[in-house]
Amino acid sequence: MTRSITLNLPDALVRHAKSYAAPPRLDDPLAAFSNGRMAKEAVIEALGLRNYAQVLLALGQRGLPLPKLPGHEVEAMADNFVRIYQLARKG
């Protein structure tokens, strides 16, 4: 059986507690992943999740954005696009 209790706390204390709890912690794997500082495999392991779908759900539940690709991956994609475009123009 569980019991409920009611606490009366000053409004300023409740506001402070909510604002303290709102920002992601520096050691928060989901925040690190969202900011592009942690690989998806690492966040799955750190949080004990089964797959990437669970990571995406957790991001949504926390209101965190999807991660941005690292710059070197974006550059590689752009290089591939240019190469494919040039091949298509030749052929």
pLDDT at 23: 66
Domain boundaries defined on the chain: 11-90
pLDDT score at 53: 94
Write down the H helix ranges in 1-91: 11-21, 29-34, 40-47, 52-62, 71-90
Q: Residues 2-14: pLDDT tens digits?
A: 888 888 989 888 8
pTM: 0.53
> How does pLDDT run across 23-82, given as a tens digit for each residue?
656 689 999 999 888 889 999 999 999 999 999 999 999 999 998 777 788 899 899 999
CA separation for the pair 20, 40 (Å, rounded): 27
